[in-house]
Chain A
Amino acid sequence: MLETKIAQPSNTRKAAETVVEASDLSLTFQTNDGPVHALSDVSLSIGKGEFVSFIGPSGCGKTTFLRVIADLEQPTSGAISVNGMTPSQARENRAYGYVFQAAALYPWRTIDRNVALPLEIMGIPRAEQKERVARTLELVNLTGFEKKFPWQLSGGMQQRASIARALAFDADLLLMDEPFGALDEIVRDHLNEQLLDLWARTNKTICFVTHSIPEAVYLSTKIVVMSPRPGRVTDVIESTLPAERPLDIRETPEFLAIAARVRDGLRAGHSYDD
Chain B
Amino acid sequence: MRGGKAIPVLTILAGIVLAWYVGTYFMNAPFQRGLNDRRGATPTFSEFVGQTMSQPKPTLPAPHQVAVNFFENTFQRKVTSGQSLVYHSWVTLSSTLLGFLFGTVLGIVIAVGIVHVLALDRSLMPWIIASQTIPILALAPMIVVVLAAVGLTGLIPKALISTYLSFFPVAVGMVKGLRSPESSHLDLMHTYNASRSDVFWKLRLPASVPFLFASMKVAVAASLVGAIVGELPTGAVAGIGAKLLSGSYYSQTIEIFSALIAGSIVAVVLVTTVGLVGRMTERAMGARPA
Give the B-binding residues of A (Cβ under 8 A).
Answer: 70-72, 91-92, 94, 96-98, 100-102, 104, 106-110, 117-118, 120-122, 149-151
Binding site for A on B (CB under 8 A): 182, 184-185, 187-195, 198, 202-203, 206-207, 209, 285-288
CB pair A91 B193 closer than 8 Å: yes
Specify which chain A residues have a CB less than 8 angstroms from the CB of B191 in the assembled complex.
Answer: 70-72, 91, 96-98
A118 touches B192 (CB 8 A): yes
Q: How far is the CA of A101 from the CA of B207 in the complex (A)?
A: 20
* A100 contacts B193, C-beta separation under 8 Å: no
CB-contact partner of B286 in A72, A96, A107, under 8 A: A107
Our pick among A101, A107, A121 for the contact of B202 (Cβ within 8 Å) is A121
Closest 7 A-B residue pairs measured CB to CB? A149-B286, A108-B285, A104-B184, A98-B191, A100-B184, A108-B206, A121-B192
Chain B nearest CB from A261 CB (Å) reads: 33
In the complex, the chain B residue whose C-beta lies closest to that of A119 is: B192
Contact of B192 among A94, A102, A109, A150 (CB under 8 A): A94
15 A-B pairs in the complex with CB atoms less than 8 angstroms apart:
A71-B190, A94-B192, A97-B191, A102-B184, A104-B184, A106-B202, A107-B287, A108-B287, A117-B192, A117-B202, A118-B192, A120-B202, A121-B192, A121-B193, A121-B202
Q: How far is the CA of A229 from the CA of B188 in the complex (A)?
A: 28
Q: Which of A92, A98, A106, A122 contacts B185 (CB 8 A)?
A: A106
Closest A residue to B282 by beta carbon equals A108
Tell me which residues across on chain B come within 8 A of A107, comparing CB atoms: 286-287
State the Cβ distance, B107 to closest chain A Cβ, in Å.
21
Give Cα A96 to B188, complex, Å. Answer: 11
Contacts of A109 in B (CB 8 A): 286
Q: In the bound complex, what is the Cα–Cα distance between A97 and B191 (angstroms)?
A: 8
Task: Report whether over half of chain B's contact residues are helix, strand or loop; otherwise say mixed.
Answer: helix
Of all chain B residues, which has the CB nearest A109? B286
A108-B210 Cα distance, complex, nearest whole Å: 11
* Cβ–Cβ contact B192 & A106, under 8 A: no
Known A-B contacts A106-B206, A108-B206, A109-B286; the reply to A94 vs B184 at CB < 8 A is no
State A120–B201 Cα separation when bound (angstroms): 12
Residues of A within 8 A of B198 (CB): 121
B193 near A104 with CB under 8 A, answer: no
Contact partner of A121 (CB less than 8 A), chosen from B187, B194, B285, is B194
Q: In the assembled complex, how far is the CB of residue A137 from the closest CB belonging to chain B, in whole angstroms?
A: 17
Q: In the complex, what distance in Å separates the CA atom of A106 from the CA atom of B287?
A: 11
Q: How far is the CA of A122 from the CA of B198 in the complex (A)?
A: 10
Given the interface contacts A92-B193, A110-B286, does A100 sit within 8 Å of B202 by beta carbon?
Answer: no
A176 and B276 alpha carbons, distance in the complex (Å): 41
In angstroms, how far is the closest chain A Cβ from the Cβ of B244? 43
CB distance from B246 to the nearest CB of A (A): 49
A101 to B202, CA, bound (A): 21
Other-chain residue from B188, B192, B206, B286 in contact with A122 (beta carbon distance below 8 A): B192
CB distance from A63 to the nearest CB of B (A): 11
B288 touches A151 (CB 8 A): yes
Residues in chain B near residue A121, CB distance under 8 A:
189, 192-195, 198, 202
* A108 and B201 alpha carbons, distance in the complex (Å): 13
Chain A residue contacts of B209, Cβ below 8 A: 108
CB-CB nearest in chain A for B193: A92
